[in-house]
Chain A
Amino acid sequence: MPELNARNLLCPLPVIRVQDAIKTLLPKQQLTVFCTDPGVKYDIPAWCKMRGHTVLSIEEVERDIIVTIEVGEEI
């Protein structure tokens, strides 16, 4: 599964990195994003919703916030 390191980036940079990463993926592929800015818990789902992607899970492991996204049909 493709992974993206967005640790220590502040919003909107994690969203921009997700936006760029998804352009290289295919529909239904999953992307795991490692972040530290708590704002991503709101911003990545908001961005995914408006782009037709699905946030499958958001987990917090120590300082990491791990967001797993399934790419939608329209990239």
Chain B
Amino acid sequence: MHKAISLISGGLDSMLATKMMLEQGIHVEGINFFTGFCVEGHTHAIRKHEKPKRNNALWVAEQLGIKLHIIDIVEEYKNIVLNPKHGYGAHLNPCLDCKIFMVKKAKQWIVEQGFDFIITGEVIGQRPKSQRKHTMPIVAAESGADDLLLRPLSAKNLALTKPEREGWVQREKLGDLTGRGRSRQIEMAKNFGIQDYAQPAGGCCFLTDANYASKLQDLWQSRGVRQYELDDIMLLKVGRHIRPNENFKMIIGREEGENNYLEGYRKQFIHLRVLDHMGPLMLLDGDPSTEDLNLAARVMARYSDGRDESSVRVQINRPDREPWEVNVMPLSTTEIPQAWYV
């Protein structure tokens, strides 16, 4: 039996591509790459919901009855985000470089594990940057996968690959999908008896999101260097981000789940709490001056239940010293300029 590794994003297309191979008697295992930017319901996971968010890739693998290998590529992926050879899409999304990188990692994996080929759920014309007819051969060539890369959903519209040429899979049973429409995938899902799947939501990566990309740009600009750590990019997914100046930024939880998540970072950051009213947790990222701390306390008070009081007691906690308290007048809404919101 021939063996394939399938790039599982957690969406319907990779699920269908995998199912097509399983139907042809191929042994398929899944591979999923964790970049740190994966949407994967992190906002949902952080915010308080009755039903916890499942990891889509794991869920898909479970439904298909295949093994899933989740690979942490956070460190290696930084170079893709910071220096994409093929440039960015609409925001900070290096989609083509990302796809090449992931297929390259999958190629290394099949060599190490003795698998025969790689499949993806790519469809010609579905994504403006990486899934176009003329970029698909670039992915195959630059990843080094060459003709070991099979896209079952669009294979009939692409050059013959080794699995087809060697008769490991039957080309006539592969797909000829093109474009952004979803109706044929939905029909295929129905025919395969797949009733539940993640709904397409404009991509699986935060780098395609305008607001997120803007926060990442702000991070780089304020630090004067285009670098990031995993905690930086996770925190960009949480809370209100308010930057009054280049010295520091406030991150304020918007609800209980976000406050709980931010609690996990309180030992690493200066953080503020309101003592005499209910209120969120605020982390400060950067190097605030004494004046900045007073301003942050006033913003903190603004987001507490004491916003209409003349004085609110705020505790300031620095990781390197004992906490202290200040009494401040909450800022009014008009005193927080819109330009401060990142």
Interface residues of A (CB under 8 A from B): 7-8, 10-13, 15-16, 19, 36-39, 41-43, 46-47, 49-51, 63
Known: A7-B264, A8-B261. A47 touches B52 (CB 8 A): no
Known: A39-B53, A42-B52, A42-B54. A12 touches B66 (CB 8 A): no
User: Contact: A49 with B62, CB < 8 Å?
Assistant: yes
**Which residue of chain A has its CB nearest to the CB of B261?**
A8
User: Contact: B264 with A39, CB < 8 Å?
Assistant: no
Return chain A residues, CB-CB under 8 Å to B61.
Answer: 46, 50
In the complex, A37→B58 CA distance in Å?
15
Distance in Å: Cβ of B53 to nearest Cβ of chain A: 5
Distance in Å: Cβ of A58 to nearest Cβ of chain B: 12
In the complex, A42→B67 CA distance in Å?
16
In the complex, A36→B71 CA distance in Å?
21
Query: Is the CB of B260 closer than 8 A to any CB of chain A?
Result: yes
Known: A42-B54, A50-B68. A11 touches B261 (CB 8 A): no
User: Contact: A38 with B42, CB < 8 Å?
Assistant: no
Q: Which residue in A7, A12, A19 is a CB contact (below 8 Å) of B55?
A: A12
User: Contact: A12 with B54, CB < 8 Å?
Assistant: no
Known: A16-B70, A16-B72, A51-B67. A11 touches B55 (CB 8 A): yes
User: Contact: A39 with B52, CB < 8 Å?
Assistant: yes
Query: Is the CB of B336 closer than 8 A to any CB of chain A?
Result: no
Distance in Å: Cβ of A11 to nearest Cβ of chain B: 5
Known: A8-B265, A11-B40, A36-B264. A43 touches B34 (CB 8 A): no
Query: Is the CB of B120 closer than 8 A to any CB of chain A?
Result: no
**Which residue of chain A has its CB nearest to the CB of B42?**
A10
Query: Is the CB of B32 closer than 8 A to any CB of chain A?
Result: yes
Instruction: Report, as a range, how many residues of chain B touch the other chain.
Output: 20 to 34
Return chain A residues, CB-CB under 8 Å to B46.
Answer: 10
Return chain A residues, CB-CB under 8 Å to B67.
Answer: 50-51
22 contacts between A and B (CB under 8 A): A8-B264, A8-B265, A11-B45, A11-B53, A12-B34, A12-B55, A12-B57, A12-B70, A16-B71, A16-B72, A36-B260, A37-B45, A39-B45, A39-B55, A42-B54, A46-B54, A46-B55, A46-B61, A46-B62, A47-B58, A50-B67, A50-B68
In the complex, A37→B40 CA distance in Å?
13
**Which residue of chain B has its CB nearest to the CB of A15?**
B70
Return chain A residues, CB-CB under 8 Å to B58.
Answer: 11-12, 15, 43, 46-47
Query: Is the CB of B59 closer than 8 A to any CB of chain A?
Result: yes
**Which residue of chain B has its CB nearest to the CB of A38?**
B52
Distance in Å: Cβ of B148 to nearest Cβ of chain A: 24
**9 A-B pairs with the lowest CB-CB distances in the bound complex, closest first:** A8-B264, A38-B52, A11-B55, A43-B55, A46-B62, A39-B52, A46-B58, A12-B55, A16-B72
Query: Is the CB of B234 closer than 8 A to any CB of chain A?
Result: yes
User: Contact: B45 with A12, CB < 8 Å?
Assistant: no
Return chain B residues, CB-CB under 8 Å to A16.
Answer: 34, 70-72
In the complex, A10→B42 CA distance in Å?
7
**Which residue of chain A has its CB nearest to the CB of B264?**
A8
Return chain A residues, CB-CB under 8 Å to B261.
Answer: 8
In the complex, A36→B57 CA distance in Å?
20
Distance in Å: Cβ of B27 to nearest Cβ of chain A: 14
